Amino acid sequence: MKINKIYFLCSRLPQPERWIFWIAIAIFIKTLFFLYKLFEAPLLNITYQGSFAIGGGDTFSYIEPIENLLSNGTYSDDYRMPGYGGIYFMLRLVFNQPWSLNILVILQLALSSVSVYALGLIAKAIFKNNSSFYISFIIYLASAYVSLFDSFLLTESFCTSSLILSVLFFINYYQSNNIYFLLPSGFFITWSIFLRPTIAPLLILFILFIFIKKILDKSTAWKSLFYFLLPFILADGLWMARNYMKYKKIYPLTRTIYYPSAYDNYYIQLADFVSSFGGSIVHWNPGAEMCFFIPPPDYIKKKVDPVLPEYIYTSKFNYDSLVMIKNYIHEINDTTAPEKRKKYLTPVVKRKLNDYRISIKEEKPFLYYVTSRLKLLKTFFVHSGTYNLFAKVSFELNKLEWGIKLVYSLLYIFVVSFGFMGSLLMLLKVQSKNEVLMVLVAMCGLYHALVFPLVLKMDQYRYFVPGYPFFVLASVFVLISMRNFIKKQVSKND
């Protein structure tokens, strides 16, 4: 009956078409999150003098290449696609660096607010009722999991907003048969790819849905494909041409998923080894297996001794072997150690870690191919969901902060658990042309939920941020299904 009360309250709210009202509400609430994070001292804040924007560990890799382009005409280092740097570049043509960074995060806040309204419109379009708009709007707006990134100089905010807008315009095309909606849809997914290249496979999903629509409508898909892919063809064509001129090779996205410096040291081999048995490579997470070899940064106050599982050892290595590698890495990172010693140890560590990884692959294939991925999937999702909510560790929180943390953790648990459930239900629900779009929404969420832990073997929590809003939609679908089930049971009893 509580679900019915929620639906009754929703019926008293202003209509979804009152976009000024809803976007104003989103801006107000999002601004509260924004200001809270700006005034809170974060654990890691790489600041730029004169700017209030919050920097993270990857910020320099988006900002510095643009500064190099402005100062010496060279976009370097260029292992990042210029989806984030391009916006910063346009601002830097007019403003100084501090104001460019300030405006950049304000733009993130504005677009993120619009995306809350857009997500509500997606819910209304695919679930065919106003209540789904209200519930999706409220849940997503209340979610700190995404909002806290609006003040950070990272790609999460823009990427999430642009993907939501791309899906909304695509749904408008699907339901109106107006192919001109495909141009902004293609633009926003292109931008999201330039912000986060791992989104590129979703292009295939969208293209598949264009063909599905044309099969259902018994018409040709080529014109629709042209409109949708035009922004990507133009943008990526220029990017590939630039890369070919510089490297004489074709790089449609990025040249590497690691920083260039990682190829000069042991990091890639260490990350591959740790992930080969399902260990976490996030070295700033207390207790992560990576911390066995690389101690977490000094700003991490919570100390947890990492434990390596006994089942990972093979005929090529044991615990003592890994302790030796740990000591070698400590020497390499020691600023007082002789350079000659470091140059000798680095290739030794790389070779041994590679041998150890291969031995797991050959001697324990089930661990390497299956168990490791399932373990990373668990690490990726089984956490509080509030890791960036406070700049303090849990034992430093007061009762009020603990209460807030609990509320947001419960919201995260609800969205993730019901999101998985709802996504699977949406895949099974399709019985008509009007319900096909549920599959698109479900796949956008499931893709982000699975590609990082199961395919790329990465478990950094923020990688799921662009998939979170689609899990919100899936959660709302579960609520709708529960309400419909209750109504049927009540009508039967009557």
User: In this predicted model, what pLDDT tens digit does every residue of 279-296 receive, in sequence order?
Assistant: 999 888 878 899 999 887
pLDDT at residue 42 in the model: 53
Same domain, 198 and 135: yes
pLDDT at residue 43 in the model: 46
CA-closest candidate to residue 448, choices 434, 462, 436? 462
Same domain, 226 and 281: no
pLDDT at residue 46 in the model: 55
Alpha-carbon gap, residue 300 to 36, rounded angstroms = 21
User: Which of 125-134, 146-155, 224-233, 477-486 shows the lowest per-residue confidence on average (mean pLDDT)?
Assistant: 477-486
pLDDT at residue 193 in the model: 97
Report the mean per-residue pLDDT for the chain. 89
Residue 301 has pLDDT above 80, yes or no: no
Same domain, 223 and 309: no
Same domain, 233 and 126: yes
More confident residue, 356 or 40: 356
What is the number of residues in the chain?
A: 494
Q: What percent of the chain has pLDDT over 90?
A: 64
By the 10 Å C-beta count (0-12 exposed, 13-18 middle, 19+ buried), 488 is classed as exposed
**Which SS3 state, helix, strand or coil, does residue 152 take?**
strand
Residue 111 has pLDDT above 50, yes or no: yes
Same domain, 44 and 60: yes
Q: Please identify, among 317, 348, 363, the residue that sits at the C-terminal boundary of a domain.
A: 363
pLDDT at residue 228 in the model: 96
More confident residue, 437 or 57: 437
> Is the residue at 135 inside a domain?
yes
If you ran DSSP here, which 8-state letter would residue 108 be given? H
**Which SS3 state, helix, strand or coil, does residue 190 take?**
helix
Same domain, 235 and 320: no
> Is the residue at 368 inside a domain?
no
Q: Is the dihedral of CA 205, 207, 208, 213 positive or negative?
A: positive
By the 10 Å C-beta count (0-12 exposed, 13-18 middle, 19+ buried), 465 is classed as buried
Same domain, 118 and 168: yes
Residue 40 has pLDDT above 80, yes or no: no
More confident residue, 45 or 457: 457
Same domain, 400 and 481: yes
Structural domain containing residue 330: 260-363
Same domain, 323 and 199: no
Residue 453 has pLDDT above 60, yes or no: yes
> Is the residue at 378 inside a domain?
no
> Is the residue at 177 inside a domain?
yes
**Is the Cβ–Cβ distance between 372 and 272 less than 8 Å?**
no
pLDDT at residue 177 in the model: 87
Which residues are bridge partners to 152 per DSSP? 54
Neighbours of 471 (CB within 10 A): 32
In terms of C-beta distances under 8 Å and separation of at least 24 residues, what long-range contacts does 213-217 make, across chains too?
Answer: 213/174, 213/436, 216/433, 216/436, 217/177
**Is the Cβ–Cβ distance between 372 and 276 less than 8 Å?**
yes
The region, left, alpha or beta by phi > 0 then psi within -120 to 50, assigned to residue 128 is left
**What would the pLDDT profile of 62-98 be if each residue is shown by its tens digit?**
999 999 999 998 998 888 999 999 999 999 999 999 9
pLDDT at residue 76 in the model: 83
Same domain, 237 and 88: yes
Residue 194 has pLDDT above 60, yes or no: yes
pLDDT at residue 166 in the model: 98
CA-closest candidate to residue 324, choices 307, 349, 346, 341? 349
More confident residue, 325 or 265: 325
CA-closest candidate to residue 240, choices 184, 282, 200, 279? 200
pLDDT at residue 433 in the model: 65
Same domain, 43 and 127: yes
> Is the residue at 380 inside a domain?
no
Residue 11 has pLDDT above 70, yes or no: no
> Is the residue at 374 inside a domain?
no
Q: Please identify, among 363, 395, 430, the residue that sits at the C-terminal boundary of a domain.
A: 363
Write the CA distances from 436 to 162, 173, 428, 480, integer angstroms.
22, 13, 10, 17
pLDDT at residue 7 in the model: 54
Q: What is the mean pLDDT of residues 14-18?
A: 89
This prediction's pTM: 0.93
Residue 302 has pLDDT above 50, yes or no: yes
| Torsion of the alpha carbons at 381, 383, 386 and 390, rounded to the nearest 10 | -140
Work out how many domains the chain is built from and give that number: 2
Paired tokens of 323: 């302790």
Give the 3-state secondary structure percentages of the chain, helix then strand then coil, rounded to 5: 70, 0, 25
> Is the residue at 171 inside a domain?
yes
**Is the Cβ–Cβ distance between 393 and 477 less than 8 Å?**
no
Same domain, 239 and 132: yes
> Is the residue at 112 inside a domain?
yes
Paired tokens of 100: 């460019």
More confident residue, 409 or 390: 409
**What would the pLDDT profile of 128-170 be if each residue is shown by its tens digit?**
889 999 999 999 999 989 998 999 999 999 999 999 999 999 9
More confident residue, 7 or 252: 252
Residue 434 has pLDDT above 80, yes or no: no
Alpha-carbon gap, residue 216 to 230, rounded angstroms = 23
